[in-house]
Structure 1
Amino acid sequence: MTDVDPITFEVIRHRLWAINDDQARTASSLSGTAIVHEGYDFNAGLTTASGDGLFVGAYVLHHATGIDDFVRKIVEQWGYDDIREGDVFFTNDPWWGALHANDAVLAMPNFAQGTLVSWSGIVMHEQDVGGSVPGSMVATAQDQFVEAPLLPGVKMGEGFALRKDIEGIWLRNSRTPTLNRLNLRARLGAMRRTHDRIVELVERYGLETVLTVQDQIVEHVERVVRARLAEIPDGEWFARGYHDHDGTHDTIYPVGLALTKTGDRVTFDFRDSAPQARGPINCARPALEGAVLGVVLMELCYDLPWSVAALRRVISIESTPGTVIDALPPAATSAASFMGTLTAQDTSVHAMGQMLLTSARHREEAQATWNPGMSGCTIVTPPTSFGEEPTLAFMANHFGGGGGARVHSDGVNTAGPFHSMKGRVPGIEVLEQRGKVLCTHRRELIDSGGPGRFRGGVGMEYGVMPYRTGVVSSHSTMASGVIVPAGRGLAGGLPGATASTRVLRATNIRSALAEGRLPTSASELTAERVDVEAPKQHTTVTEDDVIVGTIQGGAGYGDPLLRDPESVLQDVRSRYVSPEQADVAYGVVIVGDEVDREATEAVRARRREARRAVGSAPPRVDGDVLHPVADVVEVVDTGNRRTQRCSICRTELAADDESFVAGATTRELDWGVAVPGLGDRVSPEYVLREHACPGCGVALAADVQHRDDAPLASRLFPSKTLAPVQS
Structure 2
Amino acid sequence: MQPDPITLAVLENRFRAIVEEMGEALLRTATSQILNSSRDFSVALCDARARLVAQADHIPVHVGAMPFAAAAVLEAFGDVIRPGETYLLNDPWHGGSHLPDLTIVLPVFAGAELHFLCVVRAHQSDIGGATHGAYNPAAFEIWQEGIRIPPIRLGEGDRLRDDLVSMLALNTRIARDFRGDLMAMWGSARLGAKRLESLLAEHGPTKLDAATAAILDLAEAHARRIIGAWADGEYVGEALLDDDGHGATDIPIRARITKRGDSLTVDLSESAAQVRGFVNSPWPNTVSAVRMALAYLLDPEVAKNDGAFRPLTVIAPEGSIVRPREGAAVTLCTSHPGNEIVEAVVKALAPACPERAMGGWGRRFRVAITGHDPRRDKRFVWHLFHARPGGGGHAKGDGWSTAGEWHSAGGLKFGSVEMAEARFPLFFRRHEFRPGSAGDGTHRGGLGAELELVIEADGISRANTAGDGARHGSAGMLGGRDSAPHHYTLRHPDGTERDLRTKETGVELSPGDVLIVRSAGGGGWGPPENRDPAARAADAAEGLI
* TM-score normalised by L of structure 2: 0.96
Deviations 1:347-405 (A, max 9, x none): 22322333212xxxxx2x3211111x2112111114789x986201101126x221111
Q: Aligned residue for 2:17?
A: 18
In 2, the alpha carbon distance for the partners of 1:94 and 1:397 equals: 27
In 1, the alpha carbon distance for the partners of 2:28 and 2:299 equals: 27
Q: Does 1:505 align with 2:481?
A: no
Q: Secondary structure at the match of 1:355?
A: coil
Q: Does 1:297 align with 2:295?
A: yes
Q: Secondary structure at the match of 1:156?
A: strand
Q: Aligned residue for 1:272?
A: 270
Alpha-carbon offset, residue 188 of structure 1: 0.9
In 2, the alpha carbon distance for the partners of 1:382 and 1:279 equals: 29
Q: Does 1:536 align with 2:526?
A: no
Matches within 5 A, 1:172-571: 172-249=170-247, 251-307=249-305, 309-357=306-354, 363=355, 365-371=356-362, 373-382=363-372, 390-397=379-386, 400-418=388-406, 419-467=408-456, 469-485=457-473, 487-507=474-494, 527=495, 529-538=496-505, 539-571=507-539
Please tell me the residue identity of whatever aligns with 1:157.
Answer: G
In 2, the alpha carbon distance for the partners of 1:355 and 1:58 equals: 27
In 2, the alpha carbon distance for the partners of 1:92 and 1:180 equals: 14
Alpha-carbon offset, residue 324 of structure 1: 1.5
In 1, the alpha carbon distance for the partners of 2:338 and 2:9 equals: 34
Q: Secondary structure at the match of 1:502?
A: strand
Deviations 1:56-92 (A, max 9, x none): 221111112111111112111111x200111111111
Please tell me the residue identity of whatever aligns with 1:473.
Answer: S
Q: Secondary structure at the match of 2:210?
A: helix
Overall identity of the aligned pairs, in %: 24
Please tell me the residue identity of whatever aligns with 1:437.
Answer: L
Alpha-carbon offset, residue 236 of structure 1: 1.9
Q: Aligned residue for 1:33?
A: 32
In 2, the alpha carbon distance for the partners of 1:186 and 1:329 equals: 30
Q: Check the 8 A contact 2:68/2:96 in 1, yes or no.
A: no
Alpha-carbon offset, residue 326 of structure 1: 1.3
Q: Check the 8 A contact 2:30/2:180 in 1, yes or no.
A: yes
Please tell me the residue identity of whatever aligns with 1:376.
Answer: R
Q: Secondary structure at the match of 1:28?
A: helix
Deviations 1:405-439 (A, max 9, x none): 11121111222223334332121122223332222
In 2, the alpha carbon distance for the partners of 1:50 and 1:250 equals: 40
In 2, the alpha carbon distance for the partners of 1:301 and 1:99 equals: 26
In 2, the alpha carbon distance for the partners of 1:322 and 1:138 equals: 21
Please tell me the residue identity of whatever aligns with 1:536.
Answer: K
Alpha-carbon offset, residue 197 of structure 1: 0.9
Q: Aligned residue for 2:62?
A: 63
Unaligned runs of 5+ in 1: 358-362, 508-526, 578-727
Deviations 1:518-575 (A, max 9, x none): xxxxxxxxx1x11111121121101121011121111011111121222111101111
Q: Which has the higher contact order (CA 8 A, sep 6+)?
A: 2
Q: Secondary structure at the match of 1:215?
A: helix
In 2, the alpha carbon distance for the partners of 1:352 and 1:168 equals: 48
Q: Secondary structure at the match of 2:105?
A: strand
In 1, the alpha carbon distance for the partners of 2:540 and 2:208 equals: 56
* Closer, same or farther: CA 568–3 of 1 in aligned 2, 3 Å: closer
Q: Secondary structure at the match of 2:405?
A: coil
In 2, the alpha carbon distance for the partners of 1:276 and 1:438 equals: 40
Q: Aligned residue for 1:707?
A: none
Alpha-carbon offset, residue 247 of structure 1: 2.1
Deviations 1:437-469 (A, max 9, x none): 2222111000111001111111111121321x2
Matches within 5 A, 1:630-641: none
In 2, the alpha carbon distance for the partners of 1:30 and 1:346 equals: 35
Please tell me the residue identity of whatever aligns with 2:498.
Answer: D
Deviations 1:90-112 (A, max 9, x none): 11111223221111111111112
* Closer, same or farther: CA 384–459 of 1 in aligned 2, 3 Å: closer
In 2, the alpha carbon distance for the partners of 1:234 and 1:161 equals: 54
In 2, the alpha carbon distance for the partners of 1:100 and 1:327 equals: 13
Please tell me the residue identity of whatever aligns with 1:562.
Answer: N
In 1, the alpha carbon distance for the partners of 2:173 and 2:381 equals: 10
Deviations 1:634-655 (A, max 9, x none): xxxxxxxxxxxxxxxxxxxxxx
In 1, the alpha carbon distance for the partners of 2:538 and 2:374 equals: 51
Deviations 1:317-363 (A, max 9, x none): 11121122211122111222211222212222322333212xxxxx2
In 1, the alpha carbon distance for the partners of 2:361 and 2:515 equals: 24
User: What root-mean-square deviation, in Å, do the aligned CA atoms of Structure 1 and Structure 2 show?
Assistant: 1.8
Q: Check the 8 A contact 1:479/1:499 in 2, yes or no.
A: no
Q: Check the 8 A contact 2:402/2:449 in 1, yes or no.
A: yes
Unaligned runs of 5+ in 2: none
In 1, the alpha carbon distance for the partners of 2:377 and 2:271 equals: 44
Q: Check the 8 A contact 1:134/1:380 in 2, yes or no.
A: yes
**Most deviating of 92-101 and 126-135:** 92-101
Please tell me the residue identity of whatever aligns with 1:31.
Answer: A
In 2, the alpha carbon distance for the partners of 1:252 and 1:559 equals: 26
Q: Secondary structure at the match of 2:464?
A: strand
Matches within 5 A, 1:589-600: none
In 2, the alpha carbon distance for the partners of 1:114 and 1:32 equals: 35
Q: Aligned residue for 1:120?
A: 118
Q: Check the 8 A contact 1:93/1:152 in 2, yes or no.
A: yes
In 2, the alpha carbon distance for the partners of 1:245 and 1:3 equals: 52
In 2, the alpha carbon distance for the partners of 1:157 and 1:298 equals: 37
Please tell me the residue identity of whatever aligns with 1:368.
Answer: G
Please tell me the residue identity of whatever aligns with 1:16.
Answer: F
Q: Secondary structure at the match of 2:236?
A: strand
Alpha-carbon offset, residue 260 of structure 1: 1.6
Q: Secondary structure at the match of 2:54?
A: strand
In 1, the alpha carbon distance for the partners of 2:248 and 2:513 equals: 25
In 1, the alpha carbon distance for the partners of 2:436 and 2:188 equals: 43
* Closer, same or farther: CA 40–420 of 1 in aligned 2, 3 Å: farther
In 2, the alpha carbon distance for the partners of 1:430 and 1:339 equals: 29
Q: Does 1:46 align with 2:45?
A: yes
* Closer, same or farther: CA 336–196 of 1 in aligned 2, 3 Å: same
Q: Check the 8 A contact 2:466/2:504 in 1, yes or no.
A: yes
Please tell me the residue identity of whatever aligns with 2:517.
Answer: G
Alpha-carbon offset, residue 252 of structure 1: 2.5
Q: State the aligned residue count.
A: 543
Q: Secondary structure at the match of 1:135?
A: helix
Please tell me the residue identity of whatever aligns with 1:101.
Answer: L
Deviations 1:285-339 (A, max 9, x none): 11001111122223215102210x2144210111121122211122111222211
Q: Secondary structure at the match of 2:191?
A: helix
Structure of higher CA gyration radius:
1
* Closer, same or farther: CA 532–280 of 1 in aligned 2, 3 Å: same
Please tell me the residue identity of whatever aligns with 1:553.
Answer: G
Alpha-carbon offset, residue 265 of structure 1: 0.4
Please tell me the residue identity of whatever aligns with 1:480.
Answer: D
